[in-house]
Structure 1
Amino acid sequence: MEHVRTAQPAPTRSAPRLEIRNLTRRFHGRTVVDDVSLMIEPGQVTCLLGPSGCGKSTTLRMIAGVEMQDSGEIWVDGKLVCDTVFRVPPERREIGLMFQDFALFPHLSVAGNVAYGLTGSRDDKRARVEELLRRVDLLQFIDGYPHQLSGGEQQRVALARALAPRPRIMLMDEPFSGLDNRLRDGIRDETLTLLKEEDTAVLLVTHEPEEAMRMADEIALMRDGRIVQQGAPYNVYTRPVDRASVSFFSDANMLRAQVNGALAQTPFGQFLAPGIPDGTDVDIVFRPQHVRIDFDRGGSGPLPTPTDGVAARGVVERARFMGHESLIEFRMSHDASVIKATVPNVFLPAPGKVMWLTIRRNRCFVFAA
């Protein structure tokens, strides 16, 4: 008997936990958020990263429902939550909120703060409060009050309170910026672990690239109300879309040159500029850690190589030890510009010392000026 194979239906892809489509918000004729779209899966942490005033917090407030968009849609688990006509009230969106100031109620105990907003029997609420306080290692303070806690402990209470109703989405607006550096890294890691365990989709607003790189599964880089680049932290860092994106993550050096035959000629040798028309001015951007330093050899530097190009002469202006690396600033002999270089550990050449610099070709970015 011949067996007939029937085509199997393709598996349906589940909707993202949070999806925002073409959100736009204007204030007094000025566009603050401009056509922003994002998708976040359960258990995923996305960082909305950008300078102050670029529209990050406004985007968060629209998702939370405390700000109304001028256009665009917000979807949760494939269901429309808000457009310009239909609107689910904020308290019914199953979205948790965490802010920089923690916003704990001073007149309520730690238990009362965490239980705020919970429904169900008294025993059920108490069990949920104890479970979360145990997970953030604060069960011993269950009957205490916020003023009796340190800043780090208050932040963990705020996290427990936000997680208590089991929100599907957590919105976090600079929640760690009020903590000192000694506490910040540990509490960020603890928070991230707990959110992952709860399978919560997280949208974190921050202006600190290091925080975004440490916490995010995906970074959405925002500037002037728009998302200019989006992707995994490694890709956003190593494949920037423009000069400003390079500079936002770290110090950046720049050379200006003109393209001729898909090559840009500089005192450091030639750089590839494929696809850029002849006569176009370009910015060649590179980070301080990708500058190689060589000693002077009787008035000359190292020989050219395909990977590092031609060496250019520089004079040390200043050298500083930064804790895990040294930062050296050079005044370049060819045009008196300043180029910064970093090297691991301690390297502090004296001001006035002549040295030679080369640039790693595979770590440079060429953009039309």
Structure 2
Amino acid sequence: MVPRLELEDLTCVFDDVAVVDGVSLGIHPGQVTCLLGPSGCGKSTTLRMAAGVERTQAGSVRIDGRVVADATTHLPPEARGIGMMFQDFALFPHLTAAENVGFGLGRKDAGRTARVQDLLERVGLAEMADKYPHQLSGGEQQRVALARALAPRPSVMLMDEPFSGLDNRLRDEIRDQTLEILKEEGAAVLLVTHEPDEAMRMADQIALMRKGRIVQVGAPYNIYNAPVDAEAAGFFSDINLLHGVVQDFSTDTPFGQFFCPNMRDEADVEIIIRPQHLKLDFDRQGTGPLPTASDGVAARGQVARARFMGHESLVELMMDHDGSILKATVPGVFLPKTGTPLWLSLRRDRCFVFPCKRQSRVTSPWLNSPAA
């Protein structure tokens, strides 16, 4: 199947810096793809090139197989058959909600009126049709902007951080409603966000972007559970890092040996452990090692701090072997006192081993540190 929206080797250079560097991506009808990455990685510039707001310096943009932008072609946004939503909603202040929704539908007739009414009903604003933007809440303005973007039935919907101005509870409600309507309309959706939770909630496909390039593309489950590198793993959640040195295709850690296939001897490696994959157990003996279990050797630490986070508890432990800190999360309320000795074991099948991209700052054979 030909992608409804296809970006091929898109490049944009500002002041000799490649803000977008060879980005390629395909999105099919009814598919929601999130372009995810930190601020300044080039994702919004990529979206503007797809929209026609920014000229394509190299590469091409195709919609339903038709070239709308390349080195010699540049169709304006209104000629591309796309809908656009941005952070500020950009509603016309002098038009009512209904007039904003119908703005791009041409002359007034029965079909136009029916389309506007239908969309306002679907976003739950039929009773607000005659209200002006300043008379609407932020969530209501966002829904009017969504209805306006969908009114001409675009084949492609481009969305740039459209939920960033909403409070958390309202944001979740609007996201779910927006996703349902987008699926019903069947447009190919490219959503730009810097929030991993939003991408996981909205996307059929996530394209993780870094320094102008897409570093990994996949379904949310796959990209979370099979990150391409340590930085990708850390972008989706807090992580703990263990540092090791390879000998005979494995490395020693306080939790036992980890297999390191295809890595040379003396290579530095990082072992990634998410806090939720550390298991805590009380030190019933007070001394001596915990017997080896099927998931490896347990390591001992003392509670440095414990906090209740609402639906889980975050426990920070100072490890006996080097004084470093590991973070573990526990469902519900678990608040052991500072100094309480605990044993830590881990889910070895949920750990990731990657070549180390930076030098350790300490001389310990292991480096354990939380990373955001």
1:223 to 191, 210, 217: 210
- CA deviation map 1:116-155 (0-9, x unaligned): 1112443222111111001111111111111111111111
The 8 Å contact of residues 42 and 200 in structure 1, kept in 2 or not, is answered as yes
What is the distance in 1 between the residues matched to 2:230 and 2:251?
17
Q: How far has the Cα of 1:255 moved from its partner?
A: 0.6
1:284 alignment counterpart: 271
**1:112 pairs with one of 94, 99, 114:** 99
Aligned partner of 1:305 in structure 2 is 293
Q: How far has the Cα of 1:297 moved from its partner?
A: 2.4
1:334 paired residue number: 321
CA distance in 2, matches of 1:129, 1:115: 6
Tell me the matched-pair count: 355
Q: What is the alpha-carbon distance in structure 2 between the residues aligned to residue 101 and residue 88 of structure 1? A: 24
Aligned with residue 340 of structure 2, among 348, 353, 360:
353
Partner of 1:130: 117
SS of 2:246 mapped into structure 1: strand
Q: Amino acid of the residue matched to residue 69 of structure 1?
A: T
Aligned counterpart, 2:242? 255
Of the three residues 43, 47, 59, the one matched with 1:60 is 47
**1:3-82 aligned within 5 A:** 14-82=1-69
Sequence identity percentage: 63
Paired AA for residue 20 in structure 2: V
SS class of match (2:241)? strand
TM-score, normalising length from structure 1? 0.95
In structure 2, the residue matched to 1:145 is 132
Tell me, yes or no, if the aligned pair for 1:152 and 1:179 is still in contact at 8 Å: yes
Residues in 2 aligned to 1:119 and 1:199: alpha-carbon distance in whole angstroms: 22
Within the candidate set 286, 301, 311, 1:314 is matched to: 301
* 3-state SS in 2 of match to 1:140: helix
Which residue in the other structure is 2:361 paired with?
none
Is the Cα contact below 8 Å between 2:55 and 2:74 reproduced in 1?
A: no
Mapped partners of 1:306, 1:275: distance in 2: 24
In structure 2, the partner of 1:11 is none
Asked whether 1:90 is paired with 2:77, we answer: yes
Letter in 2 for 1:297: R
Q: Where does the alignment leave 5 or more consecutive residues of structure 2 unmatched?
A: 357-372
Structure 1's unaligned 5+ residue stretches are: 1-13
Distance 1:28 1:125 in 2: 46
State the partner residue of 2:230: 243
Conserved 8 A contact 1:295-1:301:
no
User: Deviations for 1:238-261, whole angstroms, at most 9, x for unmatched residues?
Assistant: 000100001100000001111111
**Deviation at residue 306 of structure 1 after TM alignment:** 3.0
Equivalent residue number for residue 176 of structure 1: 163
Q: Which residue matches 1:210? A: 197
Amino acid at match of 2:222: N
Asked if the contact 1:46/1:219 (under 8 Å) is kept, the reply is yes
Counterpart contact for 1:48–1:204, Cα < 8 Å? yes
Give the TM-score of the pair, scaled to structure 2. 0.94
Is 1:101 aligned to 2:78, yes or no? no
